[in-house]
Amino acid sequence: MADAPVSIREVAALAGVSVGTVSNVLNRPDAVAESTRSRVQAAIKSLGFIRNESARQLRAGRSRTIGLVVLDVANPFFTDVARGVEDAASESGLAVILCNSDDQQAKESRYLELLEEHRVQGILITPVYGADERLARLQRRGTPVVLVDSRSPSRGQCSVSVDDVLGGDLAVSHLLAVGHERIAFVGGPMSIRQVADRRDGAVRALERADGTASDLYVIETPALNVSAGQQAGAALAELPAETRPTAVFCANDLLALGVLQEMTAHRIRVPENVALVGYDDIDFAAAAAVPLSSVRQPRHQLGRSAAQLLIDETLGEQAHQHRQVVFEPELVIRRSSQAQRRRPRRPKRSALAAGALAAGASEAVG
């Protein structure tokens, strides 16, 4: 049933030229005379010739592929990053092998080895904790590595990340601006760098507000999912209304949605009684029972520029300077954090639309 695979050799035979010429038609079309070129192209078409990428790679010494290793493909954050990577890669004619480490060292190692065997141009990775040594070895052997959503400690490589401290600052500054003074932070575990950074940003905003506001009321959660949010929400609901925080900043949207549900269950109105800001701006944030204000990360852009850095590195060779790109998150304001009182400050409907407060990226060369 299957036709025999056809090689460049048979194309050459049919077109009555040498294999070298066919190769030229494929790779340097203008180095070959019009008439031969079209003859060869006709032969390619009639035989249904398809280049053998393995042979090509073998000769070239490296593949036209990059590897992307993420912690969890099911997480929307990473799928968006992946799309960004893919876009940038395909513009440069590169394919992407997407690997899923599931936050397990063993799977990560297996994939790194696989990618190295494939002689990929480079690897984009959000490493599992403690992967530094393996990555360094990889790099020593000649495979460029770019860190995604984590900063390079050693400056020995490129990295892209988002400024989580700024994100926390933006969220809380907004809550302060709307008039809140008792503000809570819900998130955890604090061992996750991103969570701790967001909290620190919240603290920074409060400190800048010179004392009119009280200290940050922190509820540390065991995880970053909806049910952890519900538990935190229940804890908040039990506080007497006079001392209960009037605004809550959550380390991610799932937590915020959990808090929101619990507020509703206790007949505490959002945003009238409690304002709410989440983080990540997942698709459902805008569609929640009360549309959720949230700090948005440039996920797609994160992936795109990671890929771009890698491509630069492979092209630049000797001239390449490792760079640490840090993106700024932006705050998207929706109903959950608007109008603390019944009489809205801005009665116009358009005020409910999303508003970007900050954008762009900063860089550090190392």
Partner DNA sequence: GTGATCTCGTGGAACGTTTCAAATATGTGA
Partner DNA sequence: TCACATATTTGAAACGTTCCACGAGATCAC
Give, in degrees to the nearest 5, the angle at Cα 249 between 259 and 229. 25
- 63 is in the binding site of which of DNA, a second copy, none (Cβ under 5 to 8 A by kind)? a second copy
Is residue 65 a contact point for DNA (CB under 7 A)?
Answer: no
Binding interface with a second copy (CB under 8 A):
1-3, 5, 48, 50-55, 57-58, 61, 63, 73-74, 76, 79-80, 82-83, 86, 90, 95-98, 100, 110, 113-114, 116-119, 140-142, 226-227, 254, 257-258, 261, 264, 284, 287, 289
User: What's the token pair of residue 170?
Assistant: 């933006």
Binder of residue 8, out of DNA, a second copy, none (CB less than 5 to 8 A by kind): DNA
In the shown chain, the binding pattern of residues 242 to 281 toward DNA, with x for contact by CB under 7 A and - for none, equals ----------------------------------------
CA distance 323 to 343: 49
**Looking at 1, 2, 48, 61, which residue binds DNA (CB under 7 A)?**
61
Query: Binders of DNA: how many residues, by CB under 7 A?
Result: 30
The answer to whether 237 contacts DNA (rule: CB under 7 A) is: no
Cβ-proximal residues to 154 (8 Å cutoff; 6+ apart), any chain:
132, 136
Nearest to 68, CA basis, from 157, 148, 153, 158:
148
Least Cα distance to 249 among 297, 200, 298, 212 occurs for 200
- Kindly identify the residues of this chain, within the stretch 10-29, that bind DNA according to CB under 7 A: 16-24, 26-27
Interaction between residue 241 and DNA (CB under 7 A): no
Q: From the CB of 131, what's the least distance to DNA, in Å? A: 25
Instruction: Tell which one of 2, 35, 341, 350 touches DNA (CB under 7 A).
Output: 35
Contacted by 171, from a second copy, DNA, none: CB < 5 to 8 Å by type: none
- Closest distance of CB 348 from a second copy, Å: 20
Report the first-to-last Cα separation within the chain, whole angstroms: 57
The enclosing H or E element of 312 equals: helix 299-316
| DSSP-assigned letters across all residues of 220-289 | E-SSSSHHHHHHHHHHHHHS-TTTS-SEEEESSHHHHHHHHHHHHHTT--TTTT-EEEEES--HHHHTSS
Which three-class secondary structure state does DSSP give residue 72?
coil
Site for DNA, rule CB under 7 A = 5, 7-9, 16-24, 26-27, 31-33, 35-37, 49, 51-52, 55-56, 58-61
